[in-house]
Chain A
Amino acid sequence: MFLINCPYCGERDQSEFSCGGEAHIVRPKQPTELSDDQWAEYLFMRKNIKGVQFERWNHVHGCRKWFNMVRDTSNDKIHAIYKMGEKPPVE
């Protein structure tokens, strides 16, 4: 059970949060101009890395804010947390 440092509320128990999958997948601005394959790439393809992964999290039972997290899925260490729109930290 992680202890997650919500950038808006501070440290809270994992049970207050929900994970929204891979981060930094931007919704295409002009979907109609994409081929089926390109659209499918956005719609369906997600990484599932053993190691450092960029994820979206939502403080769903708290401030309801979305933010990003850099987590190592092999040992659950959280390396960084940053707000939506902020640049991901460089390693």
Chain B
Amino acid sequence: MTKYRVNKTKYIDQTKTVSFNFDGKSYHGFEGDTLASALLSNGVHLVGRSFKYHRPRGIVSSGCEEPNAICQINEDTDLTEPNVRATEIELYEGLKASSQNCWPSVNFDIGGINNFISPFIPAGFYYKTFMWPKSFWKKIYEPLIRMSAGLGKSPTKPDPELYDHKHVHCDVLIIGGGISGIIASKIAAKNNLKTMLIEDKNVLGGSTIFQKNENYKINNKYSSEWIEEEIAELKKLDNLTIKTRTSLAAYHSYNYLLAKENISDHLPLDKKNGGIRHRLWKIRADKVIVATGAIERPLVFNNNDRPGIMLSNSVKKYLDFYGVSCGFNNAIFTNNDSAYETAVSLKEKGISVKLIDIRKKSNSKIVKNAENLGVKIYWNSTVVNTFGHRKINSIEIMNLSEDGSNVVGDKSRINCDCLAVSGGWTPMVHLHTQSGGKLDFREIDQTFIPNEIDKNHINVGSCNGDFELEDIIKNTNNKIKNFLKVSESDFDSCSVIDSKEFDKRNIWLLPNYISEGKCKSFIDFQNDSTAKDIKLALREGFKSIEHVKRYTTTGMATDQGKLSNMHALGIIADTAGVKMGTLGTTTFRPPFTPLTFGAIVGRSVGKFFDVIRKTSIHEWHIQNGAKFENVGQWKRPWYYPINNETLHDAVQRESKAARDSAGILDASTLGKIDIQGTDASEFLNRVYTNAWSKLGIGKCRYGLMLNEDGMVYDDGVTTRLGENHYLMTTTTGGAANVLSKLEDYLQTEWPELDVYLTSVTDHYSTASICGPNSKKILTKIFPDKDFNDDAFPHMSYQNAKINGINCRIMRISFTGELSYEINIDSKYGMSLWEKCIEAGKEFKITPYGTETMHLLRAEKGFIIVGQDTDGTMTPIDLQMDWIVSKKKYDFIGKRSLYRSDTIREDRKQLVGLLTDDPNEVLEEGAQIVSDINKKPIEMIGHVTSSYFSPNLNKSIALAVVKGGKKMNGQKLIVPMENKNINVTVSNFIFLDKENKRINA
């Protein structure tokens, strides 16, 4: 046992030694320790340096509020994690931890020089200093700031661990396993409610579990014994799920909460066994009971940040729970009674302790208890200074003036090796406010407490402002009974003894004989902001608490101001002379404590990152060497390289083959919507720009769909299968949105129409065969069919059978070539495809991908919605006036086509571009200008599609240019990084303007 391990407790198994390494040095602790308690048991207080001034800092607390003891864990491994609170890391064999924010070591840190130049780096220093000269920013200031910014090191490799998500529904969720949480859980579970209790520590019972004091008794037992019995009973209840090591991260509306369960962080590296590390619980609860307790406040005085200055209740927890004394010559500095519990506990174990109390007197039982034990109390006194570089060794105290605004009399020096401070308690109202709850300010002890209006959510215990044992038990019991509509409980007849007479003297910033400018009275330890900084911000005109917070960075560190926010508010209120209650608080945002990215994403990593959609022909594409392109969630063949062909070479070959003989495309991904109903024709009339009523059964028609603002939204061919039956195709990427838009109009604007929409995209596979030999190939596949132009003309469809399987053949063309699309039940997609390939062999049928498809349609000047359009193009801009019906009274977007803005003649319009050098291929997205010498250069358009056409043997491009319709033949310039490319505006149909190939 080390010197500081003075006490045996049941929570530390002193037979099981655990060795660990901190900052390169080996230590021992015991099973049950946290890293913080193990370090303290070895007398180690100095664990880090502060962010700005690099001042030595020690462990302050024993929980999630810890601002100083943040460590880098397992630095040399892929599992390394920065900013972990030593107070929350459960010790395991082989744990390696190190200090952050110090170089070369925590004991000798070069950045410590900042402490000596601190008068020159006040709040807002960075904003004020690095403004000029402007040219210094990129090369000098930014790299310098980046080097010194940030805490710890991120892992550099992918996270090898597993994370999990789990959804759960319950009647009652209780957050916090302290005394009020235990009471709430028992009442809920015993009344047949499906109950869940979550607690962030590994042991239930909160601070009551180590409260063994004559002044706090329940049913004549020490409160620690009483709660142990309650917990034992609780664990026997069937409909209660208890989750320890689980911290609530977020409380969203409608009682939807996220909690992170730590499953393996506390296990030695070799015992993790590749299991799940964290599980994120997604909880929907009928009723939520928040019992998150309170955090002890520090006090703000000169040099209040030395290692060895700790929160009083944490000193007590280290002693009574972990068996570790933080010092042998303790001083306690307080403004309230609760610190006396720590004093009594220390004294009873024979450890020296003195008290400095800013109050004039207190008559409560616990104070009497301390006095009777012979604890020296300095009443009406305050600490004005502390000493000791790497650990506190003495303090200086003075008396307070009558009103507490000043110090009087002489200084006296007291030696100590630990200073416990207590500034009273702050209810943890984070979750209440996250859920949308409001706060009230309670003057008597200067606390914000929940203002409850939500009928499905209450706060109980000290997070609700009840700090005395009897209040906690009685109020919690009554509130829970009301909340859950229960008439009686096990706690109705509890008899409670407590210290009573809780009173407190609140002074946010303690006075000093040293001038304010020379005091270092820290408010936010982690971000190094002092009372002086807050006052400076106010002097400089910042008034809103949210602005002061950001200017001084108070409360913006990884602890999110759990210890600092109240003092910042108090000092602002005092300085500005306003009531604290009227000031409001900063916003408490989730997560309450930091969440790992792993826990947030869960299993949605690697191949589960997104859904992958494959056509039924996908395997064939793989076997034939296709490179794939993502189109939405679809994997589409991009091109099929042969013998290490480049993209360019493959596309040139595929494009040529498709026009010279035959090409085949897997078009299964195009959206397909089955439209039925007696008003189907009328519906199409309203959603497309062209007319549909007269389309004959068995015929196909190309349609353009607009948004209500007149801009092109989607396009595709729709086939009339029967009197009241159509099959619409959409773009691959637009399928889901089109269906959604059509449903919207049907359900909300035109409910009188008898129309039913069904997505059949996945139901049919489509092979599209094009080229002069396509008719011969189709004839081979369907020997009984007559493919003559008269019997099967362009833009028509026929039913057919392959080996008895029904399929539909559409004679439609996306390439301008003679072309057929065969639709078949997806189950038979692959065999259809193989049949087509087999039949096409003698014609050297060439599979082609999306890149060739884009090239072929660009040669013909066919647009691709989403490539040549961007949501700002009307059909008129696209020179597609021919498809906009003049006769129809109305269709979606019609009225917008003659708004003052859409009829402007200088809108960007679709044109063709030919480069003066036919071998020069423009870059898609490149800007277009007409006058390169005019400054600033005016961009008049951009290139939307650009290829080298193997069929025309020259470069072609589609572009949108302001007023382009009237610019045919005009010379323009496409300026690039190294050169200006000269281009000529041309017709955007580059190939077969007469449409001869379609019937070739």
Chain A residues engaging chain B, CB cutoff 8 angstroms: 1-3, 13, 20, 26-28, 30-32, 34, 36, 39-40, 43, 56, 58, 60, 64-66, 75-76, 84-85
CB B263 to nearest CB in A, in angstroms, measures 24
Residues of A within 8 A of B740 (CB): 58, 60, 64
CB B690 to nearest CB in A, in angstroms, measures 17
CB B734 to nearest CB in A, in angstroms, measures 15
Chain B residues 518 to 563 lying within 8 A of chain A, measured CB to CB, are: none
Residues of B within 8 A of A1 (CB): 252-254, 256
- Whether A31 contacts B751 by the Cβ 8 Å rule is no
How far is it, in angstroms, between the C-alpha of A43 and the C-alpha of B901 when the chains are bound? 14
Tell me if B899 is interfacial: C-beta within 8 Å of chain A: yes
CB B954 to nearest CB in A, in angstroms, measures 43
**Contact A39/B748 with A3-B256, A32-B889, A64-B743 known, Cβ cut-off 8 Å:** no
Task: A66-B744, A76-B253, A76-B436 are known; give 5 further A-B pairs, CB within 8 A.
Answer: A1-B252, A13-B256, A31-B890, A39-B895, A60-B740
Residues of B within 8 A of A58 (CB): 740, 743-744
CB B684 to nearest CB in A, in angstroms, measures 17
Tell me if B894 is interfacial: C-beta within 8 Å of chain A: yes
Tell me if B708 is interfacial: C-beta within 8 Å of chain A: yes
- Whether B744 contacts A43 by the Cβ 8 Å rule is no
- Whether B743 contacts A32 by the Cβ 8 Å rule is no
Residues of A within 8 A of B890 (CB): 30-32
Residues of B within 8 A of A26 (CB): 749
CB B618 to nearest CB in A, in angstroms, measures 25
Chain B residues 880 to 902 lying within 8 A of chain A, measured CB to CB, are: 889-890, 894-896, 899-900
Q: List 3 tightest A-B contacts by C-beta distance, closest first.
A: A31-B895, A1-B256, A3-B254
Chain B residues 490 to 531 lying within 8 A of chain A, measured CB to CB, are: none
- Whether A39 contacts B253 by the Cβ 8 Å rule is no
CB A44 to nearest CB in B, in angstroms, measures 8
How far is it, in angstroms, between the C-alpha of A36 and the C-alpha of B252 when the chains are bound? 43
How far is it, in angstroms, between the C-alpha of A55 and the C-alpha of B824 when the chains are bound? 42
CB A59 to nearest CB in B, in angstroms, measures 11
Taken residue by residue from 662 to 683, chain B's Cβ proximity to chain A (1 for < 8 Å, 0 otherwise) reads as 0000000000000000000000
CB B433 to nearest CB in A, in angstroms, measures 12
Tell me if B284 is interfacial: C-beta within 8 Å of chain A: yes
Tell me if B709 is interfacial: C-beta within 8 Å of chain A: yes
- Whether B744 contacts A3 by the Cβ 8 Å rule is no
How far is it, in angstroms, between the C-alpha of A74 and the C-alpha of B900 when the chains are bound? 37
Residues of B within 8 A of A31 (CB): 890, 894-895
CB B752 to nearest CB in A, in angstroms, measures 10
Tell me if B747 is interfacial: C-beta within 8 Å of chain A: yes
- Whether A3 contacts B889 by the Cβ 8 Å rule is no
Interface core residue of A2, A43, A76 (most chain B CB under 10 Å): A43
**Contact A36/B254 with A56-B748, A84-B747 known, Cβ cut-off 8 Å:** no
Chain B residues engaging chain A, CB cutoff 8 angstroms: 252-256, 284, 436, 708-709, 740, 743-744, 747-749, 751, 889-890, 894-896, 899-900
Residues of A within 8 A of B253 (CB): 1-2, 76
Residues of A within 8 A of B284 (CB): 3, 13
Between-chain CB contacts (< 8 Å), 24 pairs? A1-B254, A3-B254, A3-B255, A13-B284, A20-B744, A27-B708, A31-B890, A31-B894, A31-B895, A32-B889, A32-B894, A36-B900, A39-B895, A39-B899, A40-B899, A43-B896, A64-B743, A66-B743, A66-B747, A66-B748, A75-B436, A76-B253, A84-B747, A84-B748
- Whether B900 contacts A2 by the Cβ 8 Å rule is no
CB A7 to nearest CB in B, in angstroms, measures 12
By beta carbon, the residue of chain A nearest B745 is A27
Residues of B within 8 A of A3 (CB): 254-256, 284
How far is it, in angstroms, between the C-alpha of A40 and the C-alpha of B901 when the chains are bound? 11
**Contact A39/B896 with A27-B749, A66-B743 known, Cβ cut-off 8 Å:** yes
How far is it, in angstroms, between the C-alpha of A39 and the C-alpha of B709 when the chains are bound? 10
Residues of A within 8 A of B899 (CB): 36, 39-40
By beta carbon, the residue of chain A nearest B255 is A3
Partner of B709, one of A2, A20, A43, A64: A43
By beta carbon, the residue of chain B nearest A78 is B254
How far is it, in angstroms, between the C-alpha of A58 and the C-alpha of B252 when the chains are bound? 21
- Whether A65 contacts B747 by the Cβ 8 Å rule is yes
**Contact A84/B744 with A3-B284, A36-B899 known, Cβ cut-off 8 Å:** no
How far is it, in angstroms, between the C-alpha of A75 and the C-alpha of B896 when the chains are bound? 37
Residues of A within 8 A of B708 (CB): 27, 43
Residues of B within 8 A of A2 (CB): 253-254
Residues of B within 8 A of A27 (CB): 708, 749
How far is it, in angstroms, between the C-alpha of A31 and the C-alpha of B255 when the chains are bound? 45
How far is it, in angstroms, between the C-alpha of A36 and the C-alpha of B890 when the chains are bound? 16
How far is it, in angstroms, between the C-alpha of A2 and the C-alpha of B436 when the chains are bound? 13
How far is it, in angstroms, between the C-alpha of A84 and the C-alpha of B192 when the chains are bound? 40
How far is it, in angstroms, between the C-alpha of A60 and the C-alpha of B896 when the chains are bound? 28
Residues of A within 8 A of B747 (CB): 65-66, 84
Interface core residue of B708, B895, B896, B899 (most chain A CB under 10 Å): B895
Residues of B within 8 A of A20 (CB): 744
CB B907 to nearest CB in A, in angstroms, measures 16
By beta carbon, the residue of chain B nearest A2 is B254
How far is it, in angstroms, between the C-alpha of A24 and the C-alpha of B254 when the chains are bound? 26
CB B727 to nearest CB in A, in angstroms, measures 19
Residues of B within 8 A of A32 (CB): 889-890, 894-895
By beta carbon, the residue of chain B nearest A26 is B749
CB A1 to nearest CB in B, in angstroms, measures 4
Residues of A within 8 A of B895 (CB): 28, 31-32, 34, 39
By beta carbon, the residue of chain B nearest A28 is B895
How far is it, in angstroms, between the C-alpha of A75 and the C-alpha of B740 when the chains are bound? 29
CB B899 to nearest CB in A, in angstroms, measures 5
How far is it, in angstroms, between the C-alpha of A26 and the C-alpha of B751 when the chains are bound? 12
CB B103 to nearest CB in A, in angstroms, measures 43
Residues of B within 8 A of A64 (CB): 740, 743
How far is it, in angstroms, between the C-alpha of A26 and the C-alpha of B896 when the chains are bound? 16
Residues of B within 8 A of A40 (CB): 899
**Contact A84/B751 with A58-B744, A60-B740, A76-B253 known, Cβ cut-off 8 Å:** yes
Residues of B within 8 A of A84 (CB): 747-748, 751
Residues of B within 8 A of A36 (CB): 899-900
Residues of A within 8 A of B744 (CB): 20, 58, 66
How far is it, in angstroms, between the C-alpha of A34 and the C-alpha of B253 when the chains are bound? 42
By beta carbon, the residue of chain A nearest B889 is A32
CB B895 to nearest CB in A, in angstroms, measures 4
CB B439 to nearest CB in A, in angstroms, measures 15
How far is it, in angstroms, between the C-alpha of A65 and the C-alpha of B894 when the chains are bound? 26
How far is it, in angstroms, between the C-alpha of A17 and the C-alpha of B640 when the chains are bound? 40
How far is it, in angstroms, between the C-alpha of A1 and the C-alpha of B252 when the chains are bound? 6
By beta carbon, the residue of chain B nearest A39 is B895
Residues of B within 8 A of A56 (CB): 748
CB A74 to nearest CB in B, in angstroms, measures 9
CB B403 to nearest CB in A, in angstroms, measures 42
CB B761 to nearest CB in A, in angstroms, measures 15
CB B975 to nearest CB in A, in angstroms, measures 35
How far is it, in angstroms, between the C-alpha of A27 and the C-alpha of B890 when the chains are bound? 12
CB B514 to nearest CB in A, in angstroms, measures 48
Residues of A within 8 A of B894 (CB): 31-32
By beta carbon, the residue of chain B nearest A65 is B747
How far is it, in angstroms, between the C-alpha of A59 and the C-alpha of B871 when the chains are bound? 26
CB B601 to nearest CB in A, in angstroms, measures 15
CB B785 to nearest CB in A, in angstroms, measures 38
How far is it, in angstroms, between the C-alpha of A85 and the C-alpha of B749 when the chains are bound? 9
Residues of A within 8 A of B255 (CB): 3
CB A63 to nearest CB in B, in angstroms, measures 11
CB A86 to nearest CB in B, in angstroms, measures 11
CB B578 to nearest CB in A, in angstroms, measures 25
- Whether A85 contacts B254 by the Cβ 8 Å rule is no
Interface core residue of A28, A30, A34, A66 (most chain B CB under 10 Å): A66
By beta carbon, the residue of chain A nearest B899 is A36
Residues of A within 8 A of B751 (CB): 84-85
How far is it, in angstroms, between the C-alpha of A32 and the C-alpha of B748 when the chains are bound? 20
Residues of A within 8 A of B254 (CB): 1-3, 76
